[in-house]
Structure 1
Amino acid sequence: MKKIAIYISVLLVLGACNKNILDRGPLDKYSDQNVWKDMALINMFVANIYANMKTTYDEAKGGSWMMANITDEAISSRTFHSARQINTLQYNESDDLYADVWTNGFRNIRKCNLLLSKIPEISATAEVKRQLKGEGHFLRAFTYLDIYMHFGRFPITDKVLTLEDETAIPRGTEADCIKFILADLDSAGVLLPEKYGPTDIGRATSWAALAIKSRFLLNLERYQEAADSSLAVINSKKYALFPDYQTLFNPENDNNSEIIFDKQYGSAISKQIHDVDTYESSTFFTGFSSAITCPTQNLVDAFEMKDGKPWDKSADYNPEKPYENRDPRFYATVMYDGISWMGEKVDMKKGSKFNRATGSGSSPTGYFLRKFLNPKYDHKNTNSIPNYQNCAIIRLAEVYLIYAEAQFKLGHAEEARKYVNLVRQRVNMPDIEMTNFSFNSIMHERQVELAMEGQRWYDIRRWKKGQELIGAKIYGVDIQDDANGRNYVRMEVEQRKFEDKMYWFPVPLSERQKYPASNPLEQNQGW
């Protein structure tokens, strides 16, 4: 079997030549029995499912917005984005928020069901068929999980159905939906190999299934099971923390020792790319209204000083130079005033060549995103292969923190502290002593270690801190110059709103309208 990125390349090249195969609807475009007798076409079909997985990078596609913008991590620089509607609670089911998660998700689920139904008739070795079956279960679980984490309960289908048949299926019960996802992940864990050779990079492994399962179990607050699953991944010794957090997400470090599962980008043929570097970099570098995801002062304040103390309790903090002596993860996450980037010293003062005074491309907080960006991105040659770094979907540091939170909730604070400190040691931050260790330590560590990686919303929901952290005042920094130099003044940017119904997004009206009036698709409570 060839590398998954190559599958995607061939898939799209063939699509350009054979519209009959690739331009048909998801239920019939691979109905030709000859397809299921050709391993090249089968592998292309599977590659297409991988390609349609939704990641944090895909959220930024085409200038859209990352989920970070509806948490206390960031605010979108574009006032017309739906993120602004969410933050002020000015939305309902007719706004079709995250409709792509539901619609594209079920499109991928149909493909998974078709794949699983065809495996018995595929002419291949038992090992190959076992792997394909495992991938089918993994990818279906991954997609259902994405739908569940946005909307909660979903219509359960494990068979190839017509669209008409699908719209007769009601949303499953909470217990049944959870059971279905976990069963798929368990099947994947049994069927998938532990590792692949270098030509199969990007395919799901049994450890990826277990890691994703541990994340799901933590969000379900099933702490013993979450601890058991995450510890199994840790004890496998298949992964190790990458030594340099600053370059962890750079393309030259794709598929490094810490990555358990990621989405592969970068094929020059397939154009399986993302827009993170183009839409999240300053207008100065891109030449158009970019820099969408703007970190908040709330997030900046979360990064401790190098001595391990909060900025407002540390003798190392200098208000005239507020960005000195911070947790190294700050410098890898936030584009701040004075940072060196692509040979330039970035001036974040409003009206500078880096930060527009008004409109799109102007940061409302005084910060731009640094995390994920490729410092070698060639803005003049966007087809250059090195431009497209992979997106880490789950990595070992998160698994450490899953284990730590689960153990703390089980009453094992010392074991939890051990793994929080392992994460801190990677960036040379001081260990947290037991006398100072609390659940707040775990929440803080997740906030700074996993900043912008798409888990913050779900963390806040699990911790039931929506009012405190989502419906909060959002702050930025006002940068001014006077005769004495540069001043940094904390300023309020936005007062957000939150109600408990916001923990789950409304099922999109466009999806509910597909159901007959005699059998309506149930809406989430409060919407």
Structure 2
Amino acid sequence: MNIKKTIIKFSGILSVLLLISCDDNLELTPQQDIEVKDVITTEKGVKNVLIAAYEVAGSNDLLGGGIHNASELLGNDQLINFGGTFNTLRQYSIKQITVINTDVSGIWIDSYRAINQANIVLANSDVIKDEEERSRLEGEAKFIRGAVYFELIKLFGKTYQEGGQNTQPGVPLVLLPTLNLDEIKEPSRNTVEEVYTQILTDLTEAYNILPEANAEFADKYVVKALMARVYLQQQAYEEARDAANEVIQNSAFELQDNYEDAFNNPEDAREDIFAWQITIQNGRNEMNTHWAPENFGGRTGLDIAVNDEYLEIFDDSDDERRTFFYNADNGRRASTKWQEQYANVPFIRLAELYLIRAEANERLGTTEGDSPLNDINRIRTRANAAELTAITLDDILLERQRELAFEGFALHDLKRLGGSVDGIDANDDKLVLPIPQREMDANPNLTQNPGY
């Protein structure tokens, strides 16, 4: 996805519900003031809007790091500590978030920017004359929309309850583009069930029309891998197992030979099913900013450090993941996962798919694709940890924590599996983000989450 920054000024369009934006990060063609309605009448214009959607989805506020930080700081119980000066991140860490938290606002704002851009592509794809190319662009737009809504619902809605009606408030579903002030709506919040239904509709439709390979952009297997993650969050284990197995069995992705080679890559690694592209041109790696010290591109003193308690979850001192750290100048322990300032941010690694398949098979009592023991030993062997001779569900969940640590899963796994963090129950109101106050002020149809 070698996205280069191109510029189109969306002049004259305001951001009332933040479904559209006119800030420079969205600009698409150099040094021109062009109305959106003119841009979307050409193939090049629609393609540029899709590129912008990728850029925003992978930006610092969203899947370039902002969403990861929210999940890790809210969901980790004594495994990491925040020692930085950003009060917005500190609020995550101490579970006392305000309605004016600008990191929360950034997640909401940029999510709906990316969604609106995906909607613009879908509403104007008929300008793409080649049918195969049109289908590809539509599939990519639906992938982006589905992926962003999945992040929104996990952060701003209460946990999906398997077998429940899931009528708890989710987030507004906006499926049509907003191009000017006359089109701005004031949507209310859809239910958690409705949002998950739309996510899977988008991803299923994207899967059906995307090719098996699409360079660094979303392809069929990227979508199926994300579906496995969505199904797992819903505790739909059979569907999660089958989706993960399809990617493992049929795609060309392979585990890196060494654990360390899965991270800090300027180009996609061979186990990257999808990664958000970070370059000097399009901005910083937000994970590097807060998880690395100043001499590696981060902030002075290291904002987020790894505690000794994390080391205690390992059962083998030779496990390379246990030593995948380095000390900052002040002695605080930094994760090596985010050492490079302009490295790509992995979104879905093949290792996660093995973990999903193992967990789902274990819960179902099946061995679809391979046994849970073999899948977990495949992950352990790559990290130089001793193979297990028998396995339980707890073993699999602990292996998941070791392998995917600090990659944005902490809060969502906590909510899915139950338990507590810092004495706070997984389904507590404090672990759901507030609707930003500026959104509440602008839209009378929004309702605030409890506790805010």
Q: Is this a same-fold pair by TM over 0.5?
A: yes
Aligned to 2:243: 229
Are 1:138 and 2:143 an aligned pair? yes
**Paired position in structure 2 for 1:175:** 193
Q: Which residue number in structure 2 is paired with residue 5 of structure 1?
A: 2
Question: 1:302 aligns to what SS in structure 2?
Answer: coil
Quick one: structure 1 residues 244 and 408, their matched pair in 2 at CA, closer, same or farther if it must change by over 3 Å?
same
Asked whether the 8 Å contact 1:246–1:331 carries over to 2, the reply is no
CA distance in structure 2 between the aligned counterparts of 1:420 and 1:233, rounded to whole angstroms = 17
Change (3 A) 1:140 1:5: same
Aligned match of 1:372: 338
TM-score scaled to structure 2, two decimals? 0.83
Matched, 1:395 2:395: no
Please state how far the C-alpha of 1:509 moved relative to its aligned partner.
Answer: 2.2
1:330 lines up with 2:322 in the alignment: yes
Question: 1:354-373, aligned counterparts within 5 Å?
Answer: 354-355=329-330, 366-373=332-339
Q: CA deviation at 1:501?
A: 1.8
* Cα offset, 1:180, TM superposition: 0.5
Change (3 A) 1:449 1:22: farther
Mark the CA change 1:258 to 1:411 in structure 2 (over 3 Å): closer, same or farther: same
Give yes or no for the alignment of 1:112 onto 2:118. Answer: yes
Residues 22 and 425 of structure 1: CA distance in aligned 2, closer, same or farther (over 3 Å) = farther
Q: Deviations over 1:304-333 (max 9, x none)?
A: 324xxxxxxxxxxxxxxxxxxx3111222x
The whole-number CA distance in structure 1 between the counterparts of 2:46 and 2:134 is 11
How far apart, CA to CA, are the structure 1 residues paired with 2:307 and 2:276?
27
Whether 1:93 and 2:111 are equivalent positions in the alignment is no
- Contact 1:56 / 1:454 at 8 angstroms: preserved in 2? no
- Work out the CA distance in 2 between the residues paired with 1:292 and 1:183: 39
1:440 aligns with 2:394: yes
Whether 2:123 is the aligned partner of 1:126: answer: no
Matched, 1:430 2:386: yes
1:41 aligns with 2:45: yes
1:521 aligns with 2:446: yes
Aligned-pair distance for 1:154? 1.2
Report if aligned partners of 2:225, 2:243 keep a CA contact under 8 Å in 1. Answer: yes
Please state whether the residue corresponding to 1:218 is helix, strand or coil.
helix
Pairwise CA distance, 1:189: 0.4
Q: 1:367 to 1:115 in 2, by over 3 A?
A: same
Q: Structure 2: how far apart are the matches of 1:224 and 1:115?
A: 33
2:163 matched residue in structure 1:
none
Instruction: Tell me which residue corresponds to 2:312.
Output: 301
Q: Distance in 2 between matches of 1:256 and 1:173?
A: 37
Counterparts in 2 of 1:166 and 1:146: CA distance versus 1, 3 Å: farther
1:416 corresponding residue in structure 2: 372
Q: CA deviation at 1:508?
A: 2.1
Deviates more, 1:182-191 or 1:40-49: 40-49
Determine if contact 1:89/1:497 at 8 Å carries over to the other structure: no
Shift of 1:370: 1.8
* Offset at residue 194 of structure 1 (A): 0.7
Aligned residues: 420
5 Å-filtered alignment, 1:179-198, equals 179-196=197-214
Counterpart CA distance in 2 for 1:49 and 1:287 is 26
Q: Specify whether residues 75 and 60 from structure 1 end up closer, same or farther in structure 2 by C-alpha distance, changes over 3 A only.
A: farther
Quote the residue 1:504 is aligned against. Answer: 432
Query: What's the CA shift string for 1:120-151, capped at 9, x where partnerless?
Result: 2x142111111111111111111111111111
Task: State the Cα RMSD in Å.
Answer: 3.0
Q: What letter is aligned with 2:373? A: R
Distance 2:446 2:118 in 1: 23
Whether the 8 Å contact between 2:187 and 2:443 is mirrored in structure 1 is: no
Q: Cα–Cα, structure 1 residues 458 and 55, in superposed 2: closer, same or farther, change >3 Å?
A: farther
Larger radius of gyration: 1
> Are 2:264 and 1:264 equivalent residues in the alignment?
no
The gaps in structure 2 that reach 5 residues or longer are 23-32, 158-169
What is the distance in 2 between the residues matched to 1:175 and 1:124?
A: 36
Q: Normalising to structure 1: TM-score of the pair?
A: 0.72
| 2:268 maps to amino acid | N
- 1:502: how far off? 2.8
- Contact 1:293–1:368 at 8 Å: present in 2 too? yes
Q: What residue in structure 2 maps to residue 471 of structure 1?
A: 422
1:323 counterpart residue number: none
Distance apart, 1:54 and its partner CA: 4.1
